[in-house]
Amino acid sequence: MQHVIDGVAKFQSEVFPKKENTFKKLANGQNPEVLFITCSDSRIDPNMLTQTDPGELFICRNAGNVVPPHSNQTGGMTASIEFAVAALGVTEIVVCGHTDCGAMKGAMAPENLNDLPHVKEWLGHCRAATSVVKERHGEVTHERLPEVTQENVLLQLQHLRTHPAVAAKLATGKVHLHGWVYNIETGEILCFDEREKGFVPMSDAYAEEFAAKRKIKL
Active-site residue (options: 39, 96, 126, 191):
39
Torsions phi, psi of 71, nearest 5? -150, 175
Active-site residue (options: 6, 43, 127, 161):
43
Q: Find out whether 38 and 65 touch, Cβ atoms under 8 Å.
A: yes
CA–CA separation, 128 vs 105, rounded Å?
14
Active-site residue (options: 41, 96, 163, 191):
41
Q: Tell me: is residue 101 an annotated ligand-binding position.
A: yes
Q: Tell me: is residue 126 an annotated ligand-binding position.
A: no
Q: Nearest 5°: CA angle at 73, between 130 and 62?
A: 50
In the annotation, is 127 catalytic?
no
In the annotation, is 126 catalytic?
no
Active-site residue (options: 60, 70, 96, 101):
101
In the annotation, is 61 catalytic?
no
Q: Nearest 5°: CA angle at 30, between 27 and 36?
A: 130
In the annotation, is 101 catalytic?
yes
Active-site residue (options: 60, 70, 96, 98):
98
Query: Dihedral angle at the C-alpha atoms of 106, 110, 116, 122, nearest 10 degrees?
Result: 80
Q: Find out whether 156 and 66 touch, Cβ atoms under 8 Å.
A: yes
Q: Tell me: is residue 98 an annotated ligand-binding position.
A: yes
In the annotation, is 41 catalytic?
yes
Binding residues: 39, 41, 98, 101
Binding residues for Zn(2+): 39, 41, 98, 101
Which residues are known to be catalytic?
A: 39, 41, 43, 98, 101
